[in-house]
Amino acid sequence: MTAQRTLVLLKPDAVQRGLRGEIIRRLETKGYEILALAQRTATSEELTAHYAEHEGKPFYPGLVEYMGAGPLVAIIAEGESVIAGFRSLAGATNPTEAMPGTIRGDLAREWDLPVIQNLVHGSDSEESAAREIGIWFPELG
Ligand code: IDP
Ligand code: MG
């Protein structure tokens, strides 16, 4: 294996709930390196590019609204197999199904909303990671 990079987002609910430190602690104590970190409110261009694969799905309008509702934190993390490793730390998409011990399993829950709020995003493949790093950190992509 060679070192990989992944794009992590601390979604607006993570920032709003004051969970940045707790989530970054899990990433760092797992042993991954943080290469870049930036907080800002996403533009609609960034969000439509980032979530292009979900365009047309019933939850898509709610997803873009949720992700643009406040500041988020974009992170590039690096390490052996970090793409799968961070997704393992994050847990299942639905926080009710996410295992205890995971970020979503421990820190998130379901609400009566059209979109699942689940605190974090992590790239799902090397192709996605390269594409997403280019969206959020164009100067580093
Ligand atoms: P992932 O974040 O675990 O990779 P994706 O399937 O890529 O999950 O979906 C992107 C985001 O869209 C999820 O993190 C969640 O916020 C939201 N989402 C995904 N599936 C649903 C759904 O069935 N209903 C509502 N929201 C969803
Ligand atoms: Mg995904």
Tens digits of per-residue pLDDT, 86-130? 999 999 999 999 999 999 999 999 999 999 999 999 999 999 999
Position 141 in a domain: no
Alpha-carbon span 110 to 97, nearest angstrom: 10
CATH number, position 27: 3.30.70.141
pTM over the 0.85 mark: yes
**Residue-range definition of the domain harbouring residue 111:** 3-136
Position 64 in a domain: yes
Position 54 in a domain: yes
Ligand at shortest distance from the CA of 87? 1
pLDDT of residue 141: 65
* Mean pLDDT of all residues in 69-82: 98
State how many domains the chain has.
1
Describe the crossing of helices 82-90 and 20-30 by its angle, rounded to 10 degrees: 140
List residues with catalytic annotation.
121
Q: How many CA atoms lie within 13 Å of 7's alpha carbon, on the beta-carbon side? A: 23
Position 37 in a domain: yes
Ligand 1 neighbours (beta carbon < 6 A):
54, 59, 63, 93, 115-116, 118, 121, 124
Q: Tell me: the pLDDT tens digits for 38-68?
A: 999 999 999 999 999 999 999 999 999 999 9
- Return phi, psi of residue 9, to 5°: -120, 130
Position 60 in a domain: yes
Ligand at shortest distance from the CA of 13? 1
Alpha-carbon span 51 to 120, nearest angstrom: 14
